[in-house]
Structure 1
Amino acid sequence: MRTAVYSLRSGAVALLLAPVALAQSIAEINGPKFLSPYNGQIVNVSGLVTARHDNGFWIRSLEPDDDPRTSESIYVYGSNLGNFTTGDIVSLSGSVQEYHSNKDYNYLAEISSPRDITIVSSGNPVTALEIGKDTANPPTENFSSLDFGGLFGVPNDVNRVSGVDPELQPDKFGIDFWESLLGELVTIKNPRAIAKPNRYGDTWVVGEWPVTGLNKRGGLTMRSGDANPEAIIIGAPLDGTSNPKDGRLGDELEDITGVIYQAFGFYRILPATALVVKKKPSPELPKPEKFLLKGTCAALTVGSYNIENFYPGSPEIEGRAEHIARYLDAPDLVFLQEVQDNNGQTNDGVVSADESHKALIDAVAQLTGWRYDFIDIAPENNKDGGAPGGNIRSSYLYNPSVLRLKNANPGSATDAVQVQKGSKLFSGPTLNFNPGLIDPGNSAWDNSRKPIVAHWEFKNLFCRLADFFTVNVHFGSKGGSTTLHGDARPPVNKGVEKRTAQANITANFISEILKYDRNAAVIAAGDFNEFAFVQPLEVFTETSGMVDLDVAARVPEAERYTYIYDSNCQQLDHMYVSPKIARRLPRLEHVHVNTWLSYDDQVSDHDPSVARLNVI
């Protein structure tokens, strides 16, 4: 046994001025709520050092209580903390502080500016709590008692955790569960990656505990009322090494031991050492789709793909072309999003994207032996959002041996397409511009893409009466949203009001087509930047009368994903069809050529989808 005292003078003035508390247990310091009841006070405390970090260390209570709401560990923050290590029992004084680096993050209780650190004994055993065995299992559905109206309830940010400071209910709510273990040294047995690492190597995982929304690849899919609070992110290793950045969805990992922490808006585990992948999922990519019947009004194949800021200078042109030609089986019609102008992000007034489309069409032709044609409407310079100078737009590729525009009459970036009643007896509705943009002057589209509408007919004489309409959308971004673990409850779903307005405008346009002909064939697809169960798309389906193709095609809920963000496989890209099409046994596949790959191997951040539809 050895005994030593370290007197740390950093912050000594603050310590002298702070209210002084008597010796307290760690559980009492943490308290049964999100914020410490001793915030701003000086405490005297003892504990076992369970882990060290460059700027501090963690101690665990020597006399734990039996309250599951109160963590038995706490972070001690400071510099020049002396020569001691894990397994030491120490006593110290310090000021309790609630810290966060951003107003939208939850607070981390810590003891700062510690002084008079005394090593009472050394060489004591340090054990980790196994999550799900030594602790309860994480809740699987709800994040917070403050999420009135649900996690994506509108309006957002009605409450703040830091303002209400609710009593923890770790058996019911996800962030309460992780808060109740804040600072604890824990082990996850047989973890599995449920997302690809971010650019820092941080990886979301689950362990052997129960989960919901499990998809075939091993990820967790966000569904209505369930955004998977049972997941936890693994952050930077405490030993200074780095986690691998080439991980993939579904990777099986070696056991993880580390400390539960709060940083960058998320509860996380800082592992003692870097993550180790022990088994990769197989196959690396899904099998390509194949349609035995296609190219007719009874079997029209339709793809949708956000090809992420595409222009002739983009890397992986061949990769995107292979996805369209091989993995989607070269659909008769492809809805594209995020096609940039001919020189990409060069901000020089160029808005045409003919060379961008040609580059993609040429690459596809190398694989198919035939050439797509395209239609788009060039936006006004820097008016449609995205990277400055890029002028992204939505557009179509189509097989000219199968389809053509019906009475082509292209509109401009400022022309508003309108639905017109057919001029002949028994003729269906038509468009004044074909293709055309929906209400491009409406402020709802400021700095956002306008939906491009087209009216199509088949070259095949048998299908001459089977015309159909398409609406290609790319609604406003979610950029600026707050984290699911954050202080704002419900979390801020940035742009939800704007997307709701955009959904209303688009839906009202489609409803005009169906008003003139309730049996019209209409397909709306693209990057809606929203989930099917959140207000904008609920408004869209209710107002338009369209049917979610995932529902009509009976795609299992857990397999409805085209994107991975943080802990969730999720669906931002959708297809909706008019009731006539929904009734006729449609087929829909989400083709996971990007979400299954590592960050560096993906060619877009979205997966494409492909459907076969009967539009007769």
Structure 2
Amino acid sequence: MMSSQRRATMAGGAALVAALGVVVTPGAVAEGAPAPTATRIHDVQGTTRLSPLEGDRVTVPGVVTATRTFGASRGFWIQDAHGDGDPRTSEGLFVFTGDRTPDVAPGEVVAATGTVAEYYPGDPATTAAQSTTELVDAEWTVTARGADVPEALPVGPDTVPERLSARPGGSIEGLTLRPDTYALDFWEAHEGELVSVVDSRLVSRSTDYNELYVTTKPEQNPSERGGTVYSGYDRPNTGVLKIESLIPFSERPFPEADTGDTLAGVTSGPVAYDSYGGYTLMANTLGEVKRGGLEREVTRPQRPGELSVATYNVENLSAVDGGEKFAELAEGVVTNLRSPDILTLEEIQDDNGPEGIGDGVVSADETLRRFTDAIVTAGGPRYEWRQIDPVEGADGGQPGGNIRVGFLFDPERVSFVDREGGDATTPVRARRAPGGARLSVSPGRIEPADPAWHESRKPLAGEFVFRGRTVFVVANHFASKGGDQPTHGRFQPPERTTEPQRVRQAEVVRDFVGELLAVDRRANVVVAGDLNDFPFSPTLATLTEGGALGSLVDTLPPDQRYSYVFEGNSQVLDHILVSAAPHRVDYDVVHVNAEFADQASDHDPQIVRFLPR
């Protein structure tokens, strides 16, 4: 297996290749090196994901279809206009030129000489990403100009198979491609070839990395607002396709778009694989974004007798952030969430955020002061806050940020029961009290020493009183999914390596709720936050096991079940669960961020309104 590192050296062999009828320009060749073998692109690509000619030095003819002229990974794509008729073998190939801008243009016919390599983004021994078959250490000769560029393959609703991949329980690299059966095989069989989409719906905002995601299957799991809902491990959205631009941004800035917009007209270019987002259309013809008019949602206000509890991941908010972020988040709280009585916050950072790694600063008072001041400026109530400073560097997240969860509450509507003794290492317990249950400390962390919370945020329990009724709220931010294998990777089914930690975290929180309900089976309990897992995951199944907690996202219609958009999939990571006691429960995911290019956070907040018993 060749190294995963791209090589920018342009030295290479030279030979008269009579079989192709072209002359390869002479260049420096290592003494005694064999002459390159004349072959065709489909022979280089082969019928599996790995080239049968890997490591060989070859010369192949092709028509230049596209060039990548900026960035650190430059090169050009060539395509054989006369294929072998085998749908498993791609007729396109990327010629890697490193940081050298290729001096070719679409429509030129070239003979490209180079070493066949499989490029992996990362260590090929460990990465779950697929490889790209390409030529490295390349040189080329232009043999003709003005040739017809091969016609792009139109991709529509019925082009890509519904099934994602074979699932051998390991690598799919050695399996013979079945492009008529599996979506990943279809795209691999067209690696490097030109494809096109027309008037495609965007199922994600334009990302911070200059990416667009469209759906080629507009009827596949559509959300009510134009996205594509991810509804199960066995139901991947095979119509989602990522698009990047090969057009220099100095010539055409990358478009800004919201979910539900349309990429109007024709978008075409060669197929490439990216470890972020999977198979990608690298557009040298890019359509125009036609606005769909998506608007931010506004929930209804709580009625006088209703308690409203919201959860909001505020994406690494710290006191060093600019005023604009605080103002936008505050506007969301006041206008879109209608100033809820209680907010659980995730991703609150300490007062100097990631700027202070190992500096001993763990307090978040300035962060929360700025946030609550911004809420007042936006016309909201003067919230108070409760939280517990973590042990420095112990809770994961952005290094130096000392991320944690916390509560905001409106003291005009609800009271917080302060019970001393809660700190970073002291566990909260359920206690029996006259009339029901109480917390041993409030606020208090749930089992902070349990290995489940290693390098992860510890859940925070708080005791509140609303109109004489006690309500227990648990704020959560479970361990990240970072490290799981991608759905589009070379290992199928992908391993969810981070899942066991979240399952254990769910057990700990579920058991704590069980302790409260054992003391008072009619206790009002709300469990809320970023659980970093899906409604259909073992994590949520564990948390709801036994029926003590009900997951509210399951009460929504399927096309409304999402709070986050990742790689074109609208999905649920944030959750609110309640015990059986609350009645007249009304739940809403308020879409204000995840679908929009302009966003204050990458998560949408959620809110529940109910009457406590």
Give TM-score, length-normalised by structure 1. Answer: 0.85
The answer for the alignment partner of 1:58 in structure 2 is 77
Deviation digits for residues 586-616 of structure 1, max 9, x if unmatched? Answer: 2222112112321xx3111211111212322
Q: 2:470 is matched with which residue?
A: 467
Asked if 1:231 corresponds to 2:240, the answer is yes
Cα distance in structure 2, aligned partners of 1:81 and 1:243: 20
Q: Which stretch shifts more, 226-235 or 489-498?
A: 489-498
Q: Which amino acid aligns with 2:198?
A: K
Within a 5 Å distance, the mapping from 1:250-269 to structure 2 comes to 250-254=260-264, 255-265=266-276, 266-269=278-281
Quickly say closer, same or farther: Cα 1:14–1:591, change in 2 above 3 A.
farther
1:571-582 aligned within 5 A: 571-581=572-582
Pick from 490, 511, 529 the counterpart of residue 508 of structure 1. Answer: 511
> In structure 2, what is the equivalent of residue 431 of structure 1?
439
Instruction: Find the aligned partners of 2:530 and 2:102 in 1 and give their Cα distance.
Output: 54
Give yes or no for contact 1:139–1:177 (8 Å, CA) kept in 2: yes
User: Could you say if the C-alpha distance between residues 61 and 403 of structure 1 is closer, same or farther in structure 2, counting changes exceeding 3 Å?
Assistant: same
Partner residue in 2 for 1:127: 151
Are the aligned partners of 1:87 and 1:123 in contact in 2 as well (CA < 8 Å)? yes
Q: 2:309 aligns with which of 302, 313, 327?
A: 302
**Residues 386 and 94 (structure 1), Cα distance of their counterparts in 2 relative to 1, 3 Å cut:** closer
Q: Is 1:326 aligned to 2:338, yes or no?
A: no
Deviation at 1:472, TM superposition (A): 0.6
Q: Match of 1:542?
A: 545
Aligned with residue 290 of structure 1, among 295, 300, 311:
300
Change (3 A) 1:319 1:76: closer
| SS, match of residue 402 in structure 1 | coil
Give the structure 2 partner of residue 188 of structure 1.
Answer: 197
Change (3 A) 1:429 1:116: closer
Task: Write the letter of the residue equivalent to 2:480.
Answer: S
Secondary structure of the corresponding residue to residue 74 of structure 1: strand
Relative to structure 1, the CA distance from residue 239 to residue 259 in structure 2 (aligned partners, 3 Å threshold; closer, same or farther) is farther
Matches within 5 A, 1:58-457: 58-78=77-97, 85-91=105-111, 94-102=114-122, 103=124, 104=127, 105-113=129-137, 117=141, 119=143, 122-124=146-148, 126-132=150-156, 137-140=159-162, 142-146=163-167, 148=169, 159-162=170-173, 165-207=174-216, 209-225=217-233, 226-237=235-246, 241=251, 243-244=253-254, 246-254=256-264, 255-265=266-276, 266-273=278-285, 275-286=286-297, 288-291=298-301, 293-294=303-304, 296=305, 299-315=306-322, 316-347=325-356, 348-368=359-379, 370-406=381-417, 408-420=419-431, 422-424=432-434, 427-457=435-465
Partner of 1:608: 605
Equivalent residue in structure 1 for 2:52, among 37, 41, 57: 37
Residues 88/320 of structure 1: CA separation in 2 closer, same or farther (3 Å cut): closer
Aligned to 2:17: none
1:200-224 per-position Cα deviation (integer Å, ceiling 9, x unaligned): 31222224x4552211222212211
- In the TM superposition, what is the alpha-carbon distance from 1:333 to its structure 2 partner? 1.2
Structure 1, unpaired ranges of 5+? 149-158
CA contact (8 A) 2:334 2:380 kept: no
- Asked if the contact 1:8/1:81 (under 8 Å) is kept, the reply is no
Shift in Å, 1:257: 1.2
Shift of residue 369, structure 1, vs aligned partner: 5.9
Read off the aligned partner of 2:283 and give its amino acid letter: P
Contact 1:527 1:573 in 2 (8 A): yes
AA aligned to 1:138 is V
Change in 2 beyond 3 A, CA 1:10/1:540: farther
- Which letter maps to 2:458? K
- 1:70-89 CA-to-partner distances (Å, cap 9, x unmatched) read 22222344589997643344
> How far apart are the structure 2 equivalents of 1:117 and 1:267?
29
1:122 to 1:386, Cα distance in 2 relative to 1, 3 A: closer
Structure 2: distance between partners of 1:480 and 1:328: 33
The answer to whether the Cα contact below 8 Å between 1:547 and 1:577 also exists between their aligned partners in 2 is: yes
Residues 1:578 and 1:180: Cα distance change in structure 2 (over 3 Å): same
The answer as to 2:517 corresponding to 1:525 is: no
The offset of 1:370, in angstroms, is: 3.6
Structure 2 partner of 1:16? 34
Conserved 8 A contact 2:477-2:532: yes
Change (3 A) 1:125 1:283: closer
Give the partner amino acid of 1:146: R
Query: Cα–Cα, structure 1 residues 62 and 341, in superposed 2: closer, same or farther, change >3 Å?
Result: closer
Return the alpha-carbon distance in structure 1 between the equivalents of residues 131 and 326 of structure 2: 45
SS in 2 for 1:468: strand
Report if aligned partners of 1:15, 1:94 keep a CA contact under 8 Å in 2. Answer: no
Contact 1:46 / 1:90 at 8 angstroms: preserved in 2? Answer: yes
Deviation of 1:305 after TM superposition, in Å, equals: 0.6
1:191 is paired with a residue of what secondary structure?
A: strand
- Cα separation, 1, equivalents of 2:332 and 2:32: 61
User: How far is 1:28 from its partner?
Assistant: 3.8
Q: Distance in 1 between matches of 2:59 and 2:155?
A: 29
Determine the structure 1 residue equivalent to 2:24. 6
Q: What SS does structure 2 have at the residue aligned with 1:307? A: strand
Cα contact 2:445–2:461 (8 A) shared by 1 = yes
With over 3 angstroms needed to count, the CA separation of the structure-2 counterparts of 1:236 and 1:614, relative to structure 1, is same
| Residues 92, 389 of structure 1: alpha-carbon distance in 2 compared, 3 angstrom cutoff | closer
Q: With structure 2 as the length reference, what TM-score do the two structures score?
A: 0.85
How far does the alpha carbon of each residue in 1:217-252 deviate from its partner, in whole angstroms, 9 at most, with x for none? 222122113342321211231567565263322222
Letter in 1 for 2:596: L
* Structure 1 position 345, deviation (Å): 3.7
Given that residues 418 and 441 in structure 2 are in contact (C-alpha distance below 8 angstroms), is that contact kept between their aligned partners in structure 1?
A: no
SS at match of 1:586: strand
Contact 1:238 1:270 in 2 (8 A): no
- 1:53 Cα deviation (Å)? 4.1
Aligned-residue offset at 1:68: 2.7
Alignment-mate amino acid for residue 589 of structure 2: H
Partner of 2:12: none
Q: Which amino acid aligns with 2:42?
A: A
Q: Distance in 2 between matches of 1:10 and 1:613?
A: 77
The Cα of 1:579 is off from its aligned counterpart by 3.0
For 2:262, the aligned partner's letter is: E
The CA deviation at 1:515 is 2.9
User: In structure 2, what is the Cα distance between the partners aligned to 1:576 and 1:146?
Assistant: 34
Aligned CA distance change for structure 1 residues 579 and 61 (closer, same or farther; 3 Å): same
1:27 pairs, out of 25, 39, 42, with 42
CA distance in 2, matches of 1:439, 1:81: 57
1:498 Cα offset (Å) = 2.0
Q: Give the whole-Å Cα distance in 1 for the aligned partners of 2:490 and 2:420.
A: 51
Q: Residue 235 of structure 1 aligns to a residue in which SS?
A: strand
Contact 2:90 2:189 in 1 (8 A): yes
